[in-house]
């Protein structure tokens, strides 16, 4: 199954989705290519469709934190990425630009209003480290509009 596969999930990666403000916390850029997903890294994981959680696709996700409210330390928080340019004008999406996580080097957009709580062991592969300046742009959005620190 490739990075853009669609269909029924073999195993759900996303434990739950949450409104971004409901999981507000400190956000710190701390990528470390050690095999674990860390804030500032873009990884690939299975994301269910909102309209039908039994269906979904592998997609890139920007890791923005760990789920400190959960007793399980292996859950990370991510923001979904999309290369669909119609997101350019949508209020809950911000332009992120192109990166090596997209093999066609298309510009990506990040969804800000929904956080994915992801089982870290189910992440399919690391994609890339997002540069600090682009990560900080997203962090400012989360701090300004969603109560993150």
Residue 31: Cβ within 10 Å count: 19
Is residue 9 domain-resident? Answer: no
CATH of the domain at 52: 2.30.30.110
Confidence at residue 126, expressed as pLDDT on a 0 to 100 scale = 67
Say yes or no to pLDDT of 142 above 70: yes
Say yes or no to pLDDT of 5 above 80: no
Tally of structural domains, the chain: 1
Say yes or no to pLDDT of 11 above 60: no
Q: Which residue has the higher pLDDT, 1 or 21?
A: 21
Structural domain for 66, as ranges: 14-146
pLDDT tens readout for residues 85-129:
999 999 999 999 999 999 999 999 999 999 999 988 888 766 799
Assessment of whether the complete model's pTM goes beyond 0.85: yes
Is residue 127 domain-resident? Answer: yes
**DSSP code string of the chain:** --TT-EEE-SS--EEEEEEGGGG----------SSS--TTEEEEEEEE-SS-TTEEEEEEEEEEEE-TTSS-TTEEEEEEEE--GGGGG-TTEEEEE--TTSTT---EEEEEEEEEEEEGGG--EEEEEPPHHHHHHHHHHHHHHH---
Is residue 1 domain-resident? Answer: no
pLDDT tens readout for residues 13-68:
777 788 898 888 999 999 998 888 999 999 999 888 888 878 888 899 999 998 75
Give the confidence band of 70 by pLDDT, cuts at 50, 70, 90. low
The Cα-based distances of 101 to 57, 124, 128, 140, 147 in angstroms read: 15, 13, 6, 22, 28
Is residue 7 domain-resident? Answer: no
């Amino acid at each position: 199954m490739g990075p853009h596969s669609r269909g029924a999930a073999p195993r759900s990666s996303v434990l739950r989705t949450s409104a971004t403000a409901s999981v507000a916390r400190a956000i710190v850029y701390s990528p470390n290519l050690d095999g674990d997903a860390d804030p500032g890294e873009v990884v690939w994981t299975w994301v269910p469709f909102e309209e039908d959680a039994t269906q979904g696709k592998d997609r890139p996700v920007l890791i923005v934190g760990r789920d400190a409210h959960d007793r399980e330390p292996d859950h990370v928080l991510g923001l979904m990425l999309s290369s669909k340019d119609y997101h350019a004008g949508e209020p809950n999406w911000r332009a992120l630009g192109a990166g090596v996580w997209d093999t066609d080097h298309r510009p990506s957009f990040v969804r800000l209003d929904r956080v994915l709580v992801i089982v870290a062991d189910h992440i399919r592969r690391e994609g890339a480290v997002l540069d600090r300046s682009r990560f900080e742009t997203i962090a400012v959005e989360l701090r300004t509009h969603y109560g993150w620190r």
